[in-house]
A and B are shown apart, each in its own frame.
Chain A
Amino acid sequence: MNIRSLLSVLLLLVGTASFAAPEIGKPAPAFVLKDTQGKDVSLADYKGKIVVLEWINHGCPFVKKHYGSGNMQKLQKDYTDKGVVWLSIASSAPGKEGYMKADGWNKAIAEKKSAATAVLLDPDGVAGRAYGAKTTPHMFVIDAEGRVAYKGAIDDRPSADPADVPGAKNYVRQALDSVLAGKAVTTPSTTPYGCGVKYK
């Protein structure tokens, strides 16, 4: 076994071992990913701002539910208008559902009218594993001090049916309202629902 394959095995082991969601109130794991313009984006760039992380895969019916109904875009718009940074992260590996190169993503952003601050490309699943992202969508809210304030589902209706969007209680909206008002998040952790993230 040469050094390179040994290293990759080690990295794989480390990667597998570290697949766990960060704890509420603990510092959010750092990451540096390329956005769809080819620019490096680091979580540290947004120190002092509230950040939303959204795991995304446009092939997944649960993501379709929220983009097809305009629910996700409205959420993005409502809060980016208030100064919140919204990062959609694509952890699908090449060849798997939801994987696209940067230009494909730029087209999808325009077509879907995404109001996210940026879409970040994570084809190796590094950020996904660091956050223990299980599903698309899987949502995280990080407060201005860089601590995890919410993790889990987008709302309380675990279905792929767009008809369930209107009556649902949106946990991300609740969490963001609380964090913006400087209050504690009442439901800081829920079980995410959706398709599994298509990791490498």
Chain B
Amino acid sequence: MIPSKINPLPTPLRALFASALLWFPVLSSAAEKTVGNVRAALVAEDLRAPAGGTSWVGVRLTMAPGWHTYWKNPGDSGMATRIRWILPPTVTAGDIHWPAPERIVLPPLVSFGYEKETLLLVPLQIAPGATGPVKLSARVDWLECSDVCVPGRADLELRLNVGPSAQPNPAVADLFARYRNRLPRPPDGWTLEANRSGKSVKVSLQPPTGENISSKAFTFFPEDEDTAEAGAVPAAVLRDGKITVEFLSETKRVQGVLVAADGPDAIVAYSLDLPVTDGPATAPLGWVLLLAFAGGLLLNLMPCVLPVLSLKAFGFLKDAGLDAASRRRQGLLYVAGVVVSFWALAGALLALRAGGQGLGWGFHLQSPRFVLVLIGLFVLLAANLWGFFEVGGRWVGAAAERGRSWGAFGSGVLATVVATPCTAPFMGTAIGVALAQPAPAALAVFTSLALGMAFPYWLLTVVPAAGRWLPRPGPWMNRVKMVLGFFLLATAGWLLWVLYQQSPAAVGPAAALGAALGVAAWAYGQKQRGIRFRWYATTLAAVLAAGAWAWSAAGTGAISSSENGVWEVYTPERVAELEKEGRPYFIDFTAAWCLTCQVNKKTTLEKPETLALFRENNVALLRADWTNRDETIARALAGWGRSGVPLYVLKGRGAPALLPALLTPGLVRDALSKMKEEAS
């Protein structure tokens, strides 16, 4: 910079400018130089740098009071400090490692930089075989500002000894330790989320369990103006054990540094780099309630619920003689049974989530013991359909009415319990939103889901003409009952397979329990018919024994399901790697107990033509198996606004695509070609 090139200035600035002339660097070099309001020094961490290794140097900038220099993203104004090296061929300098900056606010402008002092750390790679002292020259350019700005430059020079091993300089150990401590570190073990809500992005960070973050102040520094304008980022706040910050931004990726501070010298900085997902909060509640209702309605058609519902319908046919009032009452009690069960489920889910557990729909199936209970239940239902025994006694009069009422309520509960392994279309979205909402809204969504599920049967009970829509009762009913009984047994068989995934040792005892229950049900039926059966007590004892055996076996350890070689195990790290490579990926969020997932696997995901399509498009296949409880997967699901499986995510270069809950090869093909279009 040649001073004579600069034209004279108007009077008030002339004095300032004249003094600025004095600050221009003299063109000689030293390890330390004071220019204007900044002292710049080149400091080596080692007295002797290791040949073939890394040695760190730092550019130490000490600012006069009231002055600051800038971070790599200077914010609304300013300029990042720049270092240009002149080095011997045996030494290569890396990028600047920037310590966490401070917010410098001059309303309405916000800048990011350093007041008082900073040390910009640079790793030097020393070639193997290098010897003797080497000369390091650095030209450092910075902008120093108070309420005015002055550019500064210093040419600094340092001789660094090189030897076979490193010998640190104890005199600067504290300095390097202090600033290395301020370098952003990867947020290992943290759960990071960035969700879009309208025009803003909400970033939330949850520390690893057990880490206390209660007493700190938090600041987010965006890496560049694409992530956020400096003035648009408010202070981050701590809420529900999570650090959150929300700012206006159109970015698809959040990059920057989060600084947690207990004081000016007690800070921890984390480097953040995560994609922004479309948040669940954007859907209006009314729409979600509608989705939930539709999901509940469709749940009736799922293989786990259909047989139970038919059972109910048969009962209805049998009771065709009942008066309208009694029928309506039964209908309402059935609805009540379903709604109350859904509330119980919602309550448990919300309570557990408040306790910090990542759970979703079907969460109880992650417990092998619950699966065991379901197996028993399905066996008994099948036995009932096959006419092994009757439910309820031969009550008369008021007792019969009471019995029917409890029966109606109970069948509502039963229908809900057996429905839980199934997910209907729309349900995933609705429940995902529900669990992200405050409790009243979440309860509303669950209620809507329950009402949707109870709706068809309720309709039968209130429409007087409903009887005419249904076929007349007759012997055909028994044949249908046989078939439906097989359905239920098949479901029990499938649950046995689920149990195998979770706790292989429990499968034998569980099968024994099923058999014993079948025999016991038959024996009970004999007793109901007044036929004497000598081994009645023995069968009951067998049920109890098998039950106890299975119960304890189900408590033992789980195996992880073995997978097809094409599929990699999902980890957030792998996703980050793929993002960095720019390679597209597909995530199959699945679980053995998720029937819809298994169907999709058979019809689509494991089909050779689908796999070939993925291969053609160089799509990495990741499988997130949620058969057993897994916090990482639960959090990943939450990141996509879901709380249950299945979920299918296809991400290319453009926005991620969420595929529907019921897959077809055609759907996958379309999604892939759309992804290709976006990339080109």
Question: Which residues of A approach B to under 8 Å, CB–CB?
Answer: 15-16, 19, 58-62, 64, 67-69, 96-100, 104, 107-108, 111-112, 129, 134-135, 158-163, 191-199
Complex interface: chain A residues within 8 A of B8 (CB)? 111
Task: Tell me the nearest residue of chain A to B248, going by C-beta.
Answer: A20
Q: Among A60, A67, A96, find the residue whose CB has the most chain B CB atoms closer than 10 A.
A: A60
Contacts of B74 in A (CB 8 A): 193
Contact of A19 with B1 at beta-carbon distance under 8 Å, contacts A58-B13, A61-B151, A134-B76 already known: no
Least CB distance from A151 to B in Å reads 12
- Residues on the B chain within 8 Å of A111, using CB: 7-8, 10
In contact, A196 and B77 (Cβ under 8 angstroms): yes
B109 A134 Cβ-Cβ under 8 A: yes
Contacts of B148 in A (CB 8 A): 59-60, 97, 195
* Contacting pair B77 A97 (CB below 8 A): no
Report the bound CA distance from A163 to B151 in whole Å: 13
Closest chain-A Cβ to B77's Cβ sits at a distance in Å of 4
CA distance A195 to B143 in the complex (A): 9
How far in angstroms is the closest Cβ of chain A from B109? Answer: 4
Within 8 A of A (CB), among B144-196: 145, 147-151
24 residue pairs bridging A and B, Cβ less than 8 Å apart: A58-B10, A59-B13, A60-B148, A61-B143, A61-B151, A64-B6, A68-B6, A68-B7, A99-B12, A100-B10, A104-B10, A104-B12, A134-B109, A135-B77, A159-B82, A160-B79, A160-B151, A191-B224, A195-B149, A196-B78, A196-B106, A196-B109, A197-B77, A199-B107
Whether the pair A61, B149 counts as a contact (CB closer than 8 A) is: yes
User: With contacts A61-B150, A135-B76 known, what are 9 further pairs, Cβ within 8 A?
Assistant: A59-B17, A61-B143, A68-B6, A100-B12, A108-B10, A135-B77, A158-B80, A159-B82, A193-B74
Known contacts A97-B147, A135-B77, A162-B1: A197-B10 contact under CB 8 Å = no
Q: Which of B7, B82, B106, B108 contacts A129, CB < 8 Å?
A: B108
Give chain A residues whose Cβ lies under 8 Å from the Cβ of B5: 68-69, 162
A16, B108: Cα distance in complex, Å: 7
CA of A196 to CA of B5 in the docked complex: distance in angstroms?
24
Q: Does B225 contact A (CB under 8 A)?
A: yes
Contacts of A61 in B (CB 8 A): 143, 149-151
Shortest beta-carbon contacts, A-B, top 3: A196-B77, A160-B151, A195-B149
Per the bound structure, the CA–CA distance linking A16 and B195 in Å amounts to 26
Residues of A within 8 A of B106 (CB): 196, 199
Q: Report the nearest A residue to B106, measured CB to CB.
A: A196
In the complex, B9 has a CB within 8 A of chain A: yes
Contact of A16 (CB < 8 Å), options: B12, B13, B107, B147: B107
Q: Which residues of B contact A135 (CB under 8 A)?
A: 76-77
Please give, as numbers and ranges, the residues of chain B lying within 8 Å of A160 by CB-CB distance: 79, 143, 151
Identify which of B13, B16, B145, B151 contacts A161 (C-beta below 8 A).
B151
A196/B6 contact (C-beta < 8 A), A134-B109, A160-B79, A161-B1 known = no
How far, in Å, is A200 (CB) from chain B's closest CB? 9
Closest Cβ–Cβ distance, residue B102 to chain A (whole Å): 15
How far is A92 from B598 in the complex, measured between Cα atoms in Å? 67
Determine whether the beta carbon of A104 is less than 8 Å from that of B11: yes
With the chains together, A44 CA to B327 CA distance in Å? Answer: 75
Find A67's partner among B7, B12, B13, B225 (CB 8 Å cutoff). Answer: B7
Residues of A within 8 Å of B109, CB to CB, are 134, 196-197, 199
Contacts of B149 in A (CB 8 A): 60-62, 195-196
- Taking a contact as CB atoms under 8 Å apart, the answer to whether A59 and B9 are in contact is yes
Within the complex, the shortest CB–CB distance from B71 to chain A, in Å, comes to: 14
Task: Bits for B500-521, please: 1 = Cβ < 8 Å to A, else 0.
Answer: 0000000000000000000000
Q: Is the CB–CB distance between B12 and A163 below 8 Å?
A: no
Q: Smallest CB–CB gap between A63 and chain B, Å? A: 10
Query: Once the chains are docked, how many angstroms separate the CA of A160 from the CA of B151?
Result: 7
Instruction: Tell me, in angstroms, the Cα distance from A153 to B148 when the chains sit together.
Output: 19
From A67, A98, A100, A196, B145 is in contact (CB under 8 Å) with A196
Contact B10 A195 (CB under 8 A): no
How far is the CB of B250 from the nearest CB of chain A, in Å? Answer: 10
In chain B, residues 80-99, which have Cβ atoms closer than 8 Å to a Cβ of chain A? 80, 82
Closest residue of chain B to A135 (Cβ to Cβ) is: B77
- Closest Cβ–Cβ distance, residue B73 to chain A (whole Å): 9
Give the interface residue-count category, chain B. Answer: 35 or more
Closest A residue to B104 by beta carbon equals A196
Q: A58 to chain B: which residues have CB within 8 Å?
A: 9-10, 13
Instruction: Give A31 Cβ to nearest chain B Cβ, in Å.
Output: 17
Given A19-B108, A108-B10, A195-B149; A159-B1 close (CB under 8 Å): no
Contacts of B147 in A (CB 8 A): 96-97, 198
B77 touches A163 (CB 8 A): no
In the complex, how many angstroms separate the beta carbon of B440 from the nearest chain A beta carbon? 32
Cβ-closest chain B residue relative to A191? B225
CB neighbours (8 Å) of A108 from chain B are 10
B1 touches A163 (CB 8 A): yes
- A104 and B304 alpha carbons, distance in the complex (Å): 85
Q: Are B76 and A196 in contact (CB under 8 A)?
A: yes
Candidate in A192, A194, A196 with the most chain B CB atoms within 10 angstroms: A196
Q: Nearest-CB distance from B151 to chain A (Å)?
A: 4
Q: Which residue of A lies closest to B5 (CB)?
A: A68
- Which residues from 530 to 571 on chain B have a C-beta closer than 8 Å to any C-beta of chain A? none
Across-interface contacts of B151 in A (CB, < 8 A): 61, 159-161
The CA of A159 and the CA of B1, in the complex, are separated in Å by: 12
CB distance from A161 to the nearest CB of B (A): 6
Bound-state CA distance A161–B152 (Å) is 10
Which residue from B145, B150, B231 sits with its C-beta under 8 Å from A19?
B231
A108 CA to B17 CA, complexed, in Å: 15
Q: Are B108 and A159 in contact (CB under 8 A)?
A: no
The distance in angstroms between the C-alpha atoms of A199 and B147, with both chains bound, is 10
Q: Is residue B384 contacting chain A, with contact meaning CB distance below 8 A?
A: no
Name, among B80, B145, B149, the residue most crowded by chain A CB atoms within 10 Å (CB to CB). B149
B141 within 8 A of A: yes
B137 within 8 A of partner (CB) = no
Residue ID in chain B nearest A18 by CB atoms: B108
B411 interfacial by beta-carbon distance below 8 Å? no
Residues of A within 8 A of B11 (CB): 104
Query: B434 to chain A: closest CB distance in Å?
Result: 34
C-alpha spacing A99/B7, complex, angstroms: 18
* Interface members, chain B 1-54 (any A CB < 8 Å): 1, 5-13, 16-17
Q: Which residues of A contact B491 (CB under 8 A)?
A: none
Smallest beta-carbon distance A187→chain B, Å: 14
* Neighbouring A residues of B79 by C-beta, 8 Å: 158-160, 193
Q: How far is the CB of A62 from chain B (nearest CB, A)?
A: 8
Determine how close the nearest CB of chain A comes to the CB of B1; give it in whole angstroms.
6
Task: List B contacts of A104 (CB < 8 A).
Answer: 10-12
B64-78: CB near A (< 8 Å → 1, else 0) gives: 000000000010111
Name the residue in A64, A99, A161, A193 with the highest tally of chain B Cβ atoms < 10 Å from its Cβ.
A64
Judge whether B244 is part of the interface by a CB distance below 8 angstroms. no
Please give me the residue from chain B that is nearest to A161 by CB atom. Answer: B1
Point out the residues of chain B lying under 8 angstroms from A59, CB to CB: 9, 13, 16-17, 148
State in angstroms the CA–CA spacing of A61 and B109 once bound together: 18
B429 at the interface (CB under 8 A from A): no
Chain B contacts for A62, CB-based, 8 A: 149
B206 contact set on A, CB distance < 8 A = none
Closest to B82 in A: A159
Chain B nearest CB: distance from A99 CB in Å?
Answer: 8
* CB-nearest residue of chain A to B11: A104
Least CB distance, A4 to chain B, in whole angstroms: 21
B374 to chain A, nearest CB (A): 56
User: How far is it, in angstroms, between the C-alpha of A189 and the C-alpha of B151 when the chains are bound?
Assistant: 26
The distance from the CB of A72 to the nearest CB of chain B, in whole angstroms, is 12
Q: How far is the CA of A62 from the CA of B77 in the complex (A)?
A: 11
Known: A59-B148, A67-B7, A112-B7. A97 touches B111 (CB 8 A): no
Chain B residues, Cβ within 8 Å of A60:
148-149
